[in-house]
Chains A and B, each alone.
Chain A
Amino acid sequence: MRSFQYLAPIPHFEYLCPRTLSELFEALDGRGKELQVIAGGTDLVIALKERMVTPKVVVDLRRLRRELGGIKVEGGVLRLGALATFSEMESSPFVARYAEALRQAAANVGTLQIRSIATLGGNLATASPAADSAPPLIALGAKVTLLSRSGARALPIQEVFAGPKRNGLHPGEIISSVELPANSDVRSAWTRAAVRNENVLSTVSVAVAGTIQNDRFGPCRVALGAVAPTPILAEKASGAMTGSKATAEQADRVARLAAEDSKPISDIRASAHYRKHLVYVLTRRLIVQMISESMMT
């Protein structure tokens, strides 16, 4: 059925490629659902082929790399431009230093060919509950900067996700960058379960970030993907982990709370029951690993 439809070309649309932000905002003005923004295109081009979207206008952001791209550290903040690709995040020394969980997720998204063009902003704007960049960013306390003709506003990363495949952007708004604290004391890690290793949607993904000092956890966050309508902060788990003793028993307790925090559904990839079990196993694994790494360094 699906391949049959592919014989028909994508319906016509007007293609715009603004060279400045003011040209961009002019292009975005008042178009609503008739308009789609394209960055890497790895989600949008499939959506066009499957007629999940049928825009009259497609606005390409790629000439705005100076304004919306790049990965840099300034004044204690790691700033990831919305047009940063997964390959760029995978190989950035700044990401490795301040956001190891994000580096791990970036290196495991899609394939080399997908990572070469897929962007961070696109991953967030598509708002899949399984977006792999989201749990690391939630765990690391990232904020998203949105830009529109009327200026900039910042949102906690979770609020970019309004529901499955529904983002919280206002009309005329784009994601400009993602900011998180550039603190090398913060340890972070990401892992996932999936039906295979490569080019696959995560069945469950987990990220943990925080500090350990004198055998106690400092402020910590556990974040989960693909177990709720949006990626979520595991609130009970994060609360219980913060300030507690860094032991294997505590890792087990936090992991059980993370499973309670999750609200999974059963679908083609896994049952809800199995997903909760995976949240427990993966969260425990990441925390135990965080404790043992803290003992080695």
Chain B
Amino acid sequence: MKVRFKLNGVNKTDEIEPNQTLCDYLHDAAGTTSVKKGCDTGECGACTVLLDDMPVTSCLVLAPQVDGREVVTSEGLGTRSAPHPVQSEFVEQDAVQCGYCIPGMIVTLSWIFAHAPEASDAEIKRLMSGNLCRCTGYLQQVEALKTARKKG
């Protein structure tokens, strides 16, 4: 079926099978390979994208459900030359190891950055609990968000 939506600020029309998840579509067909399939059951958060400015696990969304809506992936948050403040601080704070969870984690933290600027450490942890990292832990990521906040 024909689906029209906005992907990272660009209008897009595509022929999409309804039985495809948004996660598979974005990664395999739309070229936004930052969207990673981890658990495929909404537990790990590696496939997190913004759907109408709310973070969702794209493995739990059917691709046709984005018709008429706006999707932002980590690619859409910033570029190599003009990264999002959270993306810059992931580099500065060394908040990276294998990288698989990072795009989803950055999408969630960019949302917290924009929508919960006053969030306490405990609240940040509650809000990012849907993004699992299996190698580094979470301290650097929280630091990255807080430093990005401080730098405004």
Whether A126 sits at the interface, judged by CB under 8 Å, is: no
A 1-31 to B, binary, CB cutoff 8 A, 1 in contact else 0: 0010010011111110100000000000000
Q: Which residues of A contact B17 (CB under 8 A)?
A: 12
24 contacts between A and B (CB under 8 A): A10-B21, A11-B19, A12-B19, A13-B19, A14-B18, A15-B18, A38-B62, A41-B62, A41-B65, A45-B62, A46-B42, A48-B19, A49-B40, A58-B62, A60-B64, A111-B45, A111-B57, A113-B45, A113-B57, A116-B55, A117-B61, A198-B129, A198-B130, A199-B129
> Chain B, 27-55, contact with A by CB distance < 8 Å: what is the 0/1 string?
00000000000001111010010010011
Q: How far is the CB of B141 from chain A (nearest CB, A)?
A: 14
Residue B94, interface by CB 8 Å: no
Chain B interface size range: 20 to 34
Interface residues of B (CB under 8 A from A): 1, 17-21, 40-43, 45, 48, 51, 54-57, 59-62, 64-65, 67, 108, 111, 126-130
Tell me if A114 is interfacial: C-beta within 8 Å of chain B.
yes
- Asked if A197 is at the interface (CB within 8 A of a chain B CB), the reply is yes
In the complex, per-residue mask of A260-281: 1 if CB is within 8 Å of any chain B CB, else 0: 0000000000000000000000
A-B interface, 3 closest residue pairs, ranked by CB to CB distance from nearest: A111-B130, A15-B18, A116-B54
A112-B127, A113-B48 given; name 8 further pairs at CB < 8 Å: A41-B62, A46-B42, A46-B60, A58-B18, A60-B65, A112-B128, A114-B42, A116-B55
List, in ascending order, chain A residues with CB within 8 A of B18's CB. Answer: 12-15, 58
Is A242 located at the chain interface by the 8 A CB criterion? no
Closest Cβ neighbor of A87 among chain B residues: B54
Binding site of A, secondary structure by majority: helix, strand, loop or mixed?
mixed
Q: Is the CB of A110 within 8 A of B130?
A: yes
Q: Known: A45-B21, A58-B18. Is A17-B64 also a contact (CB below 8 A)?
A: yes
Indicate if the CB atoms of B21 and A117 lie closer than 8 Å.
no
How many residues in A have their beta carbons less than 8 Å from beta carbons of B? 31
Inter-chain contacts of A58 with B (CB < 8 A): 18, 62
Known: A17-B67, A116-B51, A116-B54. A9 touches B19 (CB 8 A): yes
Complex Cα gap A62–B62 (Å): 12
Complex alpha-carbon distance, A46 and B43, angstroms: 11
Residues of A within 8 A of B62 (CB): 15, 38, 41, 45, 58, 60
A42–B60 CB distance below 8 A: yes
In the complex, per-residue mask of A37-62: 1 if CB is within 8 Å of any chain B CB, else 0 = 01001100110110000000010101
Residues of B within 8 A of A111 (CB): 42, 45, 57, 129-130
What residue in chain B is nearest A50 (Cβ atoms)?
A: B41
> Which residues of chain A in 175-212 are interfacial with respect to chain B, using CB atoms and an 8 Å cutoff?
197-199
A12-B17, A113-B42, A114-B42 known; A45 vs B56 contact (CB < 8 Å): no
Bound CA–CA A58/B126 (angstroms): 33
Q: How far is the CA of A87 from the CA of B127 in the complex (A)?
A: 11
Q: How far is the CA of A11 from the CA of B62 in the complex (A)?
A: 13
- B residues less than 8 Å from A12 (CB atoms): 17-19
Query: Residue of A at shortest CB range from B52?
Result: A116
Closest A residue by C-beta to B49: A113
| B65 & A62 in contact (Cβ 8 Å cutoff) | yes
